[in-house]
Amino acid sequence: MADWIPAEVVTNRHWNNDLFSLTLRANIEPFKAGQFTKLGLEIDGKMIQRAYSFVNPPSETLVEVYATRVADGLLSPRLHALQAGDTVFVSARANGYFTLNEVPESEHLWMLATGTAIGPYLSILLNSDTSANSVWKRYRKVVLIHAVRFASDLSYQAEINTLKERHPDQFIVQPFVSREPAMLSLPGRIPQAIADGMLERHVGLPLNPATSQIMLCGNPEMVKDTKAALEAKGFEKNLRRKPGQITMEHYW
């Protein structure tokens, strides 16, 4: 518990009724893009906490997390209601291994996410790191796949469009919207689109273990089913002791 430090709410941006982004001012320790922190509030004498990935790159001084309000949740409705000037507790030290230094070299990097699990990818993509480990230096093509239920759940479009303008020949974005028709989006689920080849056709790149690294983050069911669809194409889980092509993180 000694890891908790107070954080001041700078902004609480509500994207729609449930999705929101908290920007916080806190003196946290340095972290790597892709890692997560914990937010907590004292409720009925107990510290209620949840893990949230950083959206901001390590170079920024303000902390940003992306979350969804769960109607019957203990913490998220209270975080959703926070206003500028309020205080929330944050873990000073980051955790997690869903970072680029854990991903092997390749030609193409595919970033697959559902919902708020786009957060760690934004931290990686927005990182101004100019070292050899920058995503823009390591991979010839970077593909961001974001699956949501409704078009209004496609947050951070301004940031994504800015990245597309900066890297027009390198960055490919393909959203999925499952519960309504949406312009420029694919229907259905990511695993099925991989299994039947629809994703490769629309993106214009092959999913090939020899040229592709895959990062999976989000809904555990999506992660499990997508891993199975990729394994059917010859991909293997990436382990430190045995490098492969699939690096995963369950988002709850």
Nearest CA-CA partner of 112 in 229, 234, 240, 232 = 229
Question: Which residues have CB under 8 Å from 180's CB, separation 6+?
Answer: 150, 151
Over residues 116-143, the mean pLDDT reads 91
Question: Looking at residue 86, what is its pLDDT?
Answer: 98
57, 33 in Cβ contact below 8 A? yes
Q: How confident is the model at residue 1 (pLDDT cuts 50, 70, 90)?
A: very low
Mean pLDDT, the chain, whole residue set: 95
Nearest CA-CA partner of 42 in 85, 81, 74 = 74
Over residues 111-124, the mean pLDDT reads 97
Give the residue with greater pLDDT, 67 vs 252.
67
Question: Looking at residue 250, what is its pLDDT?
Answer: 77
Question: Which residues have CB under 8 Å from 73's CB, separation 6+?
Answer: none
32: left (phi over 0), alpha (psi -120 to 50) or beta: beta
Q: Where are the domains of the chain?
A: 4-91, 100-250
Nearest CA-CA partner of 94 in 129, 56, 130, 45 = 56
Q: How confident is the model at residue 230 (pLDDT cuts 50, 70, 90)?
A: very high
**100-250 maps to CATH 3.40.50.80:** yes
H-state helical runs in the chain: 76-80, 119-125, 135-138, 157-166, 190-195, 198-203, 220-231
User: Measuring CA to CA, how many Å separate 223 from each of 13, 100, 111?
Assistant: 28, 18, 12
**What percent of the chain lies above the pLDDT cut of 90?**
95
8-27 pLDDT tens trace? 999 999 999 999 999 999 99
What top-level class would CATH report for the domain 4-91? Answer: mainly beta
Q: How confident is the model at residue 245 (pLDDT cuts 50, 70, 90)?
A: very high
